[in-house]
Amino acid sequence: MKDEARIGKPMRRTDFDDKVEGTAVFTADMDLPGMLHAITLRSSAPRAQIARIDLPALPEGYFYVDHRDIPGSNVMPSPILDQPFLAAGRVNYVGEPIMLIVGPDRQVLSDILKDARVHYLEERPVLSIEDAEAATGGFIYADKPYFVSYEYCKGDFERAAEEAAFFIEDEYRTGYQEHAYLETQSMLASFVDGNVTVYGSMQCPYSVKESVQAALRLGPENVRVVQLPTGGGFGGKEDYPSIPAVHAALASMKSGRPVKLVFDRKEDIISTTKRHPCRIRIRSYIGREGTIVARDVDVSTDAGAYAGLSSVVLQRLSFSVCGAYDVENLRVRSRAYATNKCVSGAFRGFGGPQAFFAVEMHTEHIAERLGRDSLALRRSYFLEQGDTSSTGGLLSSPIRLGEIADALEKTSGYSVKRALYSNSAAREKRMEGCPTPLKGIGISMFFHGCGFTGSGEKDTLKAKVKLKKNKDGTVEILASCAEIGQGSQTTLRKIVARALDIPVGMVVHRYPDTGRCPDSGPTVASRSVMIVGRLLMDCALEMKGRWKEEDFEVTRSYTYPEGLCWDNDKFQGNAYPEYSWGGNVVEVEVDPLTFEVKVTGVWGAYDIGEPMDDRIVAGQIDGAVAQGLGYAGMEVLTVEAGRVLQDNLTTYAIPTSVDFPRTVACLIPNPYKEGPFGAKGLGELPLVGVAPAFAAAVGQAIGKRILRLPVTPEYIMRLMEEEAEDGF
């Protein structure tokens, strides 16, 4: 197709002007007449009963709001029902919301908060996966130390393991990652005559709506949720915003005034969700011919105080942890442990980054043990069309892993550099203490399942969209997709305009408002373009056939593509409707004096089907790679005695403009027949494989195997000292 005619040809983003001019109204910028502010009193104990709370007397016009003010359910709607909106008698993590202080003057609110005193009867907290494993009683959740425990198999694992010649085993650890969206959690609610409208920063308007309905005991017709421009989400505004939304709504209900709740950075970091820390043990069984015949994986995640989305994160992690490789016999067991720490949850990649770090580093180890080049080893196990996934689902679309690897070779010169940097003469020279940087290069191959896991799209979400033709010939998209910076308002418009063959300017797409937009599902799981975009395309095609009609609406609901199946009890079948695939190469220099890592090159090659807008795609890749490099080596978040130590953006360091070079990225075209104009998922894919490529590069530079994330200079030093002690 000619370049001019491609849908991917970049266009000016429709959410651009107001953002750059500073006129976009984010939640903190919004003001309603008579509006009050709220501030949150939070737990300072990791696990305790609340004995009593001493509160100062309130000036007129000020209110306290606690769990007794909740007319409906004080349990957040989640896959597992355990998290209160406001603590009722006990707290399970530092930062857990206990009550709200509401009033007109933020100075006064701050003074009252300072004088409020919570008296705790502290209990022994569970602070790590190991703590949880060792516990025999005093559980946080029900009668067991974990929220969920899964197991699935493929092939004949037992027999293959028994017949293997030997096995190679590793244990990997990954740390927390904080989303660090630039805009903190923010909500504004206005309760008038039994109806509440909630405006705010969010990814999932309908999840917020469900929570507000449940907590305020209101019917669906009485709760309206409107997304405002949202300053970054990355999963951090998937389920969490329901909590501040309910808080603001309760406060508005009690005070009779609109109430705005904007988190401080510190409370945002200590109280909101994070990427799950985890421990992954992988054992690969090697047959007599040196082939990988079976794999046994044991995954444990640190889920924090409440279940949140830990069950579904763990599923995605477990389904991804065998990598982009065809290994016939598998056993994967996994658990999400309850600990008295902030709740782990959704974060771009949703378990994928942990899974691919483990399996890719393990692949490096296998190659080393078998004396094979790690890329050649990978190539010989690449999944191909017609193979089955880890859960036995048929991979019916073409898979272009080989082309992805070829593209990476071509752009990065991976193999030549890899050989050069492992040249033994060069190694010896630097072992003499010569302070030239230690160079290394690493590769990773990965995928991301597009859309909800398992049968979620079909059984849970059942996405609905509406397309409305107006008299003036404009067409409006009505869906609950949130624009969180990823460009969905632009890409979805392009899809509709292309299907209707009208100028993009004729298509309207406002921020979602549950009062007008049907529930097209949450803005998560790299599903907006592939799932919602497809439904909108179908609406548009129907609309095109009826174009002569003056004004009308077309609606569509999700239909499960033919040929897919999923057994949610046995975890068998197609875990995802389709996959996006990718590879990364990262090149580094390790400073022999400070052990700091300088990234000297980053390359990526991705199969996302068809790009809907080249510039938006490039932006998603650039941003995800930076976030992935932050996760890989820079972003350290430690929880000591239940307290987050890095609780601001000074101590929790995210990448700045001077830390990493530009990513050299290319796309491998591979249109997906069920996606709109061939598109698959994009948003998460470019993050999931960054850390293993980085870690493999550092590993080569220092001649050691990397077993944990983040790969800090302190960790590198420790590994290199082990080397010295070994007399290597």
Q: Which residues between 332 and 351 bind other proteins (CB under 8 A)?
A: none
User: Closest approach of Cβ 314 to other proteins, in Å?
Assistant: 25
Subset of residues 366 to 425 that bind other proteins, contact rule: CB under 8 A? none
Smaller CB separation from other proteins, 84 or 103: 103
For the CB of residue 237, give the shortest distance to other proteins in the complex, in Å: 10
Nearer to other proteins, 111 or 122 (CB): 111
Least distance to other proteins from the beta carbon of 481, Å?
Answer: 15
189, 249 Cβ separation under 8 angstroms: yes
Residue 204 near other proteins by CB under 8 A: no
Establish if 66 lies at the interface with other proteins (CB under 8 A).
no
Among 9, 106, 333, 705, binds other proteins (CB under 8 A): 106
CB of 235 to other proteins, least distance (A): 12
Which of 653, 637, 601 shows the shortest CA–CA distance to 709?
Answer: 637
Q: Which is nearer to other proteins, 49 or 651 (CB)?
A: 651
A 10 A CB-CB count for 420 gives 12
Half-sphere exposure (Cβ direction) of 404: Cα atoms closer than 13 Å = 32
**Helix, coil or strand: residue 267:** helix
Q: What is the footprint of other proteins within residues 575-604 (CB under 8 A)? A: 592-596
Q: According to CB under 8 A, which one of 10, 72, 437, 671 is a site residue for other proteins?
A: 10
Sheet with strand 663-667: strands edge to edge: 438-450, 578-590, 597-607, 663-667
Closest CA to 492 of 517, 471, 515, 470: 517
Strand 507-508 relative to strand 195-200: parallel, antiparallel, unpaired?
unpaired
List beta partners, residue 224.
197
Cβ–Cβ < 8 Å for 284, 109: no
Residues 20-39 that bind other proteins (CB under 8 A): 20-26, 28-29, 37, 39
Residue 314, burial from CB neighbour count under 10 angstroms (0-12, 13-18, 19+): buried
Supply 279's token pair: 């421990």
> C-beta of 390: minimal distance to other proteins in Å?
31
**Residues in 292-331 that interact with other proteins by CB under 8 A:** none
Counting contacts by CB under 8 A, is residue 641 touching other proteins? no
Question: Can residue 724 be called a binding residue for other proteins (CB under 8 A)?
Answer: no
- Pair 574, 561: CB distance under 8 Å: no
Residue 714 interacting with other proteins (CB under 8 A): yes
Interface pick for other proteins out of 1, 107, 545, 726 (rule CB under 8 A) = 107
Listed ranges 8-16, 151-159, 247-255, 668-676: which one lies at the site for other proteins (CB under 8 A): 8-16
Choice from 50, 508, 654, 666 touching other proteins (CB under 8 A): 654
Instruction: Determine which residue in the list 174, 455, 574, 663 makes contact with other proteins, applying CB under 8 A.
Output: 663
Measured in whole angstroms, the distance separating CA 622 from the mean position of its chain's CA atoms is: 16
With binding defined as CB under 8 A, does residue 16 bind other proteins? yes
Using CB under 8 A, which of 58, 622, 671, 704 touches other proteins?
622
Cβ at position 278, least distance to other proteins in Å: 22
Which has the closest alpha carbon to 378: 393, 362, 354? 362
255 binds other proteins per the rule CB under 8 A: no
- Show Cβ contacts of residue 308 under 8 Å, excluding neighbours closer than 6 positions: 78, 83, 239, 273, 343, 344, 345
Q: Give whichever of 40 and 284 is closer to other proteins, judged by the CB atom.
A: 40
CA separation for the pair 447, 451 (Å, rounded): 13
Q: Is 229 in the site for other proteins (CB under 8 A)?
A: yes
For the CB of residue 596, give the shortest distance to other proteins in the complex, in Å. 6
We find the least distance from the C-beta atom of residue 580 to other proteins, in angstroms, to be 19
Q: Is 13 a binder of other proteins (CB under 8 A)? A: yes
The piece of 55-63, 216-224, 231-239, 674-682 that touches other proteins (CB under 8 A) is 231-239
Among 205, 345, 456, 623, interactor with other proteins by CB under 8 A: 623
- The answer to whether the CB of 261 falls within 8 A of the CB of 247 is yes
How far, in Å, CA of 439 to CA of 426, rounded? Answer: 10
Residues 6+ apart with CB under 8 A from 390: 152, 154, 319, 320, 321, 322, 330, 332, 575
Tell which residue, 440, 369, 444, 420, has the closest CA to residue 720: 440
Tell me the backbone φ, ψ of residue 440, rounded to 5 degrees.
Answer: -155, 160
Q: Which of 35, 113, 370, 431 binds other proteins (CB under 8 A)?
A: 113
Residue with tokens 């197991």: 151
Q: In the numeric block, which tokens belong to residue 276?
A: 């799950």
Pairwise CA distance, residues 425 & 441, whole Å:
17
Q: Which two tokens stand for residue 433?
A: 């203490």
Closest distance between other proteins and the C-beta of residue 598, in Å? Answer: 8
Rule CB under 8 A: is residue 569 a binding residue for other proteins? no
Q: Quick one: residue 609, left, alpha or beta (phi over 0 = left, psi -120 to 50 = alpha)?
A: left
Which x/- pattern over 516-555 shows residues binding other proteins (rule: CB under 8 A)?
A: ----------------------------------------
Q: Binding string to other proteins for residues 122 to 161, with x set by CB under 8 A, is what?
A: ----------------------------------------
| The binder of other proteins chosen from 6, 15, 167, 368 (CB under 8 A) | 15
Task: Write down the residue that tokens 């005991």 correspond to.
Answer: 217
- Decide whether 16 or 166 has the Cβ nearer to other proteins: 16
* Contact residue for other proteins among 55, 58, 135, 636 (CB under 8 A): 636
**E-strand spans in 272-400?**
278-286, 292-304, 329-338
Contacts with other proteins by CB under 8 A: the residue count is 84
Q: Is the dihedral of CA 650, 651, 655, 660 positive or negative?
A: positive
Stretch 37-56 residues interacting with other proteins (CB under 8 A): 37, 39
- Does 722 sit near other proteins (CB under 8 A)? no
Which stretch, 154-162, 375-383, 463-471, 645-653, contacts other proteins (CB under 8 A)? Answer: 645-653
Tokens of 598: 């300088």
State the minimum distance, in angstroms, from the CB of residue 120 to other proteins.
22
Q: Which is nearer to other proteins, 136 or 656 (CB)?
A: 656
Q: Is 238 in the site for other proteins (CB under 8 A)?
A: no
**Scanning residues 432 to 451, which ones bind other proteins (CB under 8 A)?**
435
Q: How far is CA 155 from CA 14, 278, 379, in A?
A: 50, 26, 21
Task: Decide whether 389 or 523 has the Cβ nearer to other proteins.
Answer: 523
Residue 167, class by beta-carbon neighbours within 10 Å (0-12 exposed, 13-18 middle, 19+ buried)?
middle
Strands 195-200 and 223-227, by their bridges, are parallel
Token look-up 């096995």 returns 167
Quote the least distance from Cβ 702 to other proteins, whole Å: 14
Beta-bridge mates of residue 275 = 177
Nearer to other proteins, 23 or 136 (CB): 23
Footprint (CB under 8 A) of other proteins, residues 476-515:
484-487
Q: Is residue 429 involved in binding other proteins (CB under 8 A)?
A: no
3-state secondary structure of 283: strand
Rounded Cα distance between 354 and 446, Å, is 12
With binding defined as CB under 8 A, does residue 656 bind other proteins?
Answer: yes
